[in-house]
Amino acid sequence: MTMYNQTTDERVDKALANSFLRQATRRATDRLRNNKYKASAELGNWEEWRAAGEAIRKNVISNLDYYLNQLIEQMEKRGVHVHLAKTPADAVTVVRNIVSEHNAKNVLKSKSMISEEIHLNHALEEDGIDVVETDLGEYIIQIAGEPPSHIIVPAMHKTRQQVADLFEPIAGHALSSDTPTLTRFVRTQMREKFLRGDIGITGCNFAVASTGSIVMVTNEGNGRMVSTLPRVQITLMGMERIVPSFRELDILLNLLARSATGQRFSSYTTILTPPKNTADPDGPEEYHLVILDHNRSEILGDKLFRSSLNCIRCGACFNVCPVYRQLGGHAYGSVYSGPIGSVITPLLEKDWKKWGHLPYFSSLCGACSEACPVRIPLHDLLVKLRMRKTQSGHTPQVERQIFKAYRYFFTREKTLRRALRLGAHLQRPFVRNQRITGGPPPLSNWTNSRTLPMVAPKPFMQLWADLKNKR
Amino acid sequence: MSNTSDFISNLAAKLGRPTPTQPPPQVKLSVPQYQLSSSAERVSVFLQNWQALGGKGAIVRSEDETLQCLKQWFGEQPITWFKENSKALLAWDKLPTIAESAFSSLNWPLTRYSQSAFDPRDRYSIAASAELGITGSDWGISLSGTVVVKSDPLRGRAISLLPPRHLSFIESTKIQDNLFNVLEEVAALGSPPAAIEMISGPSRTSDIEMDLSIGVHGPIEVYVIVIDH
């Protein structure tokens, strides 16, 4: 987890200096974005689908207690073990205990952002468990020891040669770096693991409250393997991942697949209503559902940010964000990157010192809000988060002084006039082509990488006065 | 760990009201759904979309046509497979009649997954070594070229997952326009089966440099035969 130890500036510099990363990020996000445009245009009335998606998510979130209770009742009625985890540490403990009760050695995982959020692999590896990510992209970054750089394409930042280099020590021989060779290697390698997995851990795209069903989408089929073969299954879900019934599921599955990859549906959409029927020849006999809060209830109680819980984790906002497209995911430093990551990370982690930079990873252009299939006003939430950060007193000393000075001058007309006249003189040594460049700190913090407009020789107030006199 | 009532009442407190005792009103849904005018069109669009995803598909009207189709797709391959593995063709306990008789006329013996071994892990190994998994489908979706399969004690989920090839039989009348219609029927079941698998094409990934690659985990080749009586 190397990037967690670096500062924001270090991560950003590293990303900007990595031309493959930047090229790969642009290529991948272009592709995903264009596929989404096609898939959404095909539905004919995308805006109506978005409006319906938003209405469904709003209804769920504003009745989350009712639906969650219904889901738990349905699950427990059938013998599913439901665990409610307040914190990431609670969720890790639940999983550790289940693994140790079964004396399990081989744990298979299909993609789960919650498991990234609670840093589960690390904990299980400490216990000596062989825990394997089975999604190809997740497997690559697990070997590399890195967090995902995109919510849908987690190893987007790796070249095929880097992937081959990561696989070679496992294969024990040289591997060609063409995609078919690499995927064939993973198919063979993973097959053995699938067949001897003791416990399967999956994520959850949606949980249907009325029937107590879990919906999972994958393209590779690893989600099906992990939820079909091991005798024991654990599903990790964020507590907001609910849909009231099958009636609403249609809309959300259409929005999710089309927004994420531009597919009509992912290759595999699985609706589990666990555990298996005792007479079924396969499927898990024992099923655990771990429902994580991790400050989601705080977000629920905060009307300004409640809508961030509407997210369906499609990644569409990543693919249109000018900041993400320049930097990729690792520069953010957080498990969830992109615009939605910048919104939810400070709220989930409640640590402005560590995550206060995230609301500023945005040009506020609003492309994210436009791309969001459930119409979360992401750029608006980012502005409000900046406000929240300022209110909490976590802005740097320099920034506070600058705004104090701003308030001082702009509430005193005469002083402002004098200051502008003085500024017009003082700026002279730094003006090139009518822009301010260079200068001492704190000015240089800005001018090192950009220019500032110069103070006009004749300030606006003077121009205005002249205009009045002429009349 | 929290108990359910504490967890739920905390959420109610955050929402600033007691937990509703009646189901919240349903959201009105009025999205324009994809609709086709006839069964023939439904079948044809379904097959087009299935093939666009990389699957092979055909319509059959008799046992003879089924047999011809299987021969055309698999040729002499099953004979070679059987030399190595007598359990190369793995199937549900009961396939549609037309499929059962076609395999029997071809003399391609089917191994029934649910009875193939006592221990589940042995069944998985059999499925992983099989060459072709054969199932039926409970529904199809035209718009996306999807087959939908329910789990059942006489079936088995690994058949459509572990072998490198999956062949599914579907009655033309089971093909619906869109997912909404299928989910309406699922909801009408009351209590859904342990698993409902929606399968749209072969296993795929673009995780390495966004380069599409088929068959990383699930079946590499997928086939569907639409039975039109």
ipTM score: 0.97
Query: Which element (helix H / strand E) includes B135?
Result: strand B132-136
**3-state secondary structure at position A284:** coil
Token digits for B188? 């009408």
HEC string for B94-129: CCCHHHHHHHHHHCCCCEEHHHCCCCHHHHHHHHHH
Whether B23 shows a pLDDT value over 60: the answer reads yes
Whether A5 shows a pLDDT value over 80: the answer reads no
Whether A185 shows a pLDDT value over 90: the answer reads yes
Whether A2 shows a pLDDT value over 60: the answer reads no
Question: What is the rounded CA–CA span in Å between residue B39 and residue B229?
Answer: 12
Could you read off the pLDDT of B117-176 as tens digits, one per residue? 999 999 999 999 999 999 999 999 999 999 999 999 999 999 999 999 999 999 999 999
Contact A52 B29 (CB under 8 A): yes
Q: What is the pLDDT of residue B1?
A: 65
Under 8 Å between Cβ of B108 and B86: no
Residue A228 in contact with partner chain B when CB distance is under 8 A: yes
Residue A297 in contact with partner chain B when CB distance is under 8 A: yes
Q: Which residues contact A396 (CB under 8 A, 6 or more apart)?
A: none
**Of A255-259, A297-301, B30-34, B161-165, where does mean pLDDT reach its minimum?**
B30-34
What structural domains does chain B harbor? 37-227 (3.40.50.10420)
Contact A66 B24 (CB under 8 A): yes
Q: What is the pLDDT of residue A4?
A: 65
Written as one letter, the residue type at A139 is Y
Question: What is the rounded CA–CA span in Å between residue A347 and residue A370?
Answer: 22
Question: What is the rounded CA–CA span in Å between residue A184 and residue A196?
Answer: 19
Classify residue A351 by burial, with Cβ atoms within 10 Å: 0-12, 13-18, 19+: exposed
Contact B208 A136 (CB under 8 A): yes
Q: What is the pLDDT of residue A397?
A: 87
Average pLDDT over every residue of A310-338: 97
Q: What is the pLDDT of residue A253?
A: 98
Could you read off the pLDDT of A212-254 as tens digits, one per residue? 999 999 999 999 999 999 999 999 999 999 999 999 999 999 9
Could you read off the pLDDT of A105-161 as tens digits, one per residue? 999 999 999 999 999 999 999 999 999 999 999 999 999 999 999 999 999 999 999
- Residues of chain B found within 8 Å of residue A83, distances taken between Cβ atoms: 1
If you count residue pairs, one on A and one on B, with CB atoms under 8 Å apart, how many are there?
269
Question: What is the rounded CA–CA span in Å between residue A464 and residue B218?
Answer: 72
Residue A35 in contact with partner chain B when CB distance is under 8 A: no
The C-alpha of B73 sits at a distance from chain A's nearest C-alpha, in angstroms, of 22
Nearest CB among A56, A228, A273 relative to B27 is that of: A56
- For chain A, the maximum distance between any two Cα atoms, rounded to a whole number of angstroms, is 94
Contact A270 B204 (CB under 8 A): no
Under 8 Å between Cβ of B66 and B167: no
Question: What is the rounded CA–CA span in Å between residue A424 and residue A426?
Answer: 6
Question: What is the rounded CA–CA span in Å between residue A37 and residue A31?
Answer: 10
Q: What is the pLDDT of residue B193?
A: 97
Residue A267 in contact with partner chain B when CB distance is under 8 A: yes
- Residues of chain B found within 8 Å of residue A294, distances taken between Cβ atoms: none
Q: What is the pLDDT of residue A442?
A: 80
Residue at token pair 């879990």: A214
Strand A206-208 to strand A213-218: parallel, antiparallel, or no bridges (unpaired)?
antiparallel
Residue A156 in contact with partner chain B when CB distance is under 8 A: yes
Under 8 Å between Cβ of B50 and B57: yes
Q: What is the pLDDT of residue A457?
A: 84
Listed residue (A384, A329, A376, A334) closest to A359, CA to CA: A384
Could you read off the pLDDT of A422-465 as tens digits, one per residue? 988 999 999 999 999 988 888 888 898 899 999 988 888 888 98
Angle between helices B63-74 and B97-106 (to 10 degrees): 60
Q: What is the pLDDT of residue A441?
A: 85
Token digits for A253? 């599955």
- Residues of chain A found within 8 Å of residue B143, distances taken between Cβ atoms: 264
Q: Buried b vs exposed e over A337-348: b needs ≥16 C-beta within 10 Å?
A: bbbbbbbbbbbb
Could you read off the pLDDT of A55-96 as tens digits, one per residue? 999 999 999 999 999 999 999 999 999 999 999 999 999 999
Question: What is the rounded CA–CA span in Å between residue B34 and residue A117?
Answer: 38
Listed residue (A284, A256, A239, A217) closest to A60, CA to CA: A239
Question: What is the rounded CA–CA span in Å between residue A5 and residue A419?
Answer: 43
Whether A1 shows a pLDDT value over 60: the answer reads no
Question: What is the rounded CA–CA span in Å between residue A81 and residue A90?
Answer: 15
Nearest CB among B10, B24, B124 relative to A229 is that of: B124
Q: Which residue of B has its CA nearest to A138?
A: B207
Percent of chain B residues past pLDDT 70, beyond the cut: 100
How far separated are the first and last CA of chain B, in Å rounded? 57
Q: What are phi and psi of A132, to 5 degrees?
A: -120, 125
Q: What is the pLDDT of residue B10?
A: 98
**3-state secondary structure at position A361:** coil
Instruction: Please say whether the dihedral angle defined by the alpha carbons of residues A161, A166, A167 and A168, taken in this order, is positive or negative.
Output: positive
Whether A323 shows a pLDDT value over 80: the answer reads yes
Average pLDDT over every residue of A174-185: 95
Q: What is the pLDDT of residue A275?
A: 96
Average pLDDT over every residue of A165-177: 96
- Residues of chain A found within 8 Å of residue B14, distances taken between Cβ atoms: 297-298, 300-301
**3-state secondary structure at position B46:** helix
* Angle formed at CA A36 by CA A33 and CA A42, multiple of 5 degrees: 150
Contact B216 A221 (CB under 8 A): yes
Sheet with A130-133: strands ordered across: A81-85, A286-292, A232-238, A199-202, A106-109, A130-133
Nearest CB among A31, A65, A222 relative to B217 is that of: A222
pLDDT bracket for residue A23 (50, 70, 90): very high
Mutate to test the interface with A, among B26, B31, B46, B51 (most CBs of A within 10 A): B31
What structural domains does chain A harbor? 15-296 (3.40.50.10420), 410-470 (no CATH)
Average pLDDT over every residue of A7-16: 94
Q: What is the pLDDT of residue A415?
A: 94
The C-alpha of B58 sits at a distance from chain A's nearest C-alpha, in angstroms, of 20
Contact B207 A153 (CB under 8 A): yes
Mean pLDDT of chain A: 95
Under 8 Å between Cβ of A80 and A276: no
